[in-house]
Amino acid sequence: MDAKDMGDDLAAVLIDADQIQARLRELAAEIDRDYAGRELLLVGVLKGAVMVMADLARALHTTVEMDWMAVSSYGSGTRSSGVVRIIKDLDADLTDRHVLVVEDIVDSGLTLSWLMRNLSSRGPASLEVCTLLRKPDAQKGHPGKGGQAPVKYVGFDIPPEFVVGYGLDYAEKYRSLPFVGSLARHVYRPGS
Ligand code: PRP
């Protein structure tokens, strides 16, 4: 799938495929340096993190194991519901493991704050986060909800627009785009 397949549902390409791959190579080099001599467990958060997990894992030289967790904080709309629930838990035991959570986007930070509390209670040797995208609200913190979601590796800070592609969906569509684009307003606000 590419830009032309979206027709007028695409407002703009925000980060093209080459920029994504180049940034993931930089992040992989940083992660390789930081985890030298250790084994790493990458925890991908389904479904959005599938693309970033696949490309980041292949850019790393560090030996990695991959596991997956499915949590849900959104319905099929554009706003966080504030409800996080586990759809699929990890297969791996995190005790004494070096764990790196891989996300496509930190938006409100709600999912990540919850996830960090949950995973840190499982006794990992270390727990860090890598996200391809981060929106401004993610840095504001969430008083009473676990505080600011700490993210060690960030691909791109983006404006608060509705974005799709490279794993990110609108109503389950557009995850397979190789780039990150902003969605035309008429798609999620019909009649506006
Ligand atoms: C997206 C994304 C993050 C979360 C971020 O997942 O993958 O997990 O939302 O939003 P937040 O920072 O506001 O909590 P989503 O629940 O849409 O599921 P999906 O990955 O299956 O699309």
Q: What is the pLDDT of residue 154?
A: 97
Query: How many Å from the N-terminal Cα to the C-terminal Cα in the chain?
Result: 27
Average pLDDT over residues 11-17: 97
Concatenated DSSP letters for 162-189?
A: -EEBTTB-BTTBSTT-SSEEEEPHHHHS
pTM: 0.91
pLDDT reading at 169 higher than 70: yes
CB 90 within 8 A of CB 67: yes
Q: What is the mean pLDDT of the chain?
A: 90
Q: What is the pLDDT of residue 192?
A: 64
Measured in Å, residue 6 CA sits from the centre of ligand 1 at: 22
107 a catalytic residue:
yes
Residue 34 to residue 28: CA distance in whole angstroms: 10
Q: Which one of 3.40.50.300, 3.40.50.2020, 3.40.50.720, 3.30.160.270 gives the CATH number of domain 18-161? A: 3.40.50.2020
pLDDT reading at 190 higher than 90: no
Out of 46, 111, 163, 166, give the residue to mutate to test ligand 1, the one with the largest number of ligand atoms within 8 Å of its CB: 111
Closest atom of ligand 1 to 106 CA is: 12
For residue 152, say if its preceding peptide bond is cis, omega within 30 degrees of 0: no
Nearest to 153 by CA among 102, 85, 114: 102
Domains in the chain: boundaries? 18-161
Q: Which helix (H) or strand (E) element contains residue 125?
A: none
Interval 123-165: pLDDT, tens: 999 999 999 999 988 766 554 444 455 799 999 999 999 999 9
Q: Which residues lie across from 102 on neighbouring strands? A: 44, 130
Residue with tokens 């030298």: 36
With cut-offs at 50, 70 and 90, classify the pLDDT of residue 84: confident
Measured in Å, residue 161 CA sits from the centre of ligand 1 at: 14
Q: Out of 5, 89, 104, 107, which one is annotated catalytic?
A: 107
Residue 36 to residue 145: CA distance in whole angstroms: 33
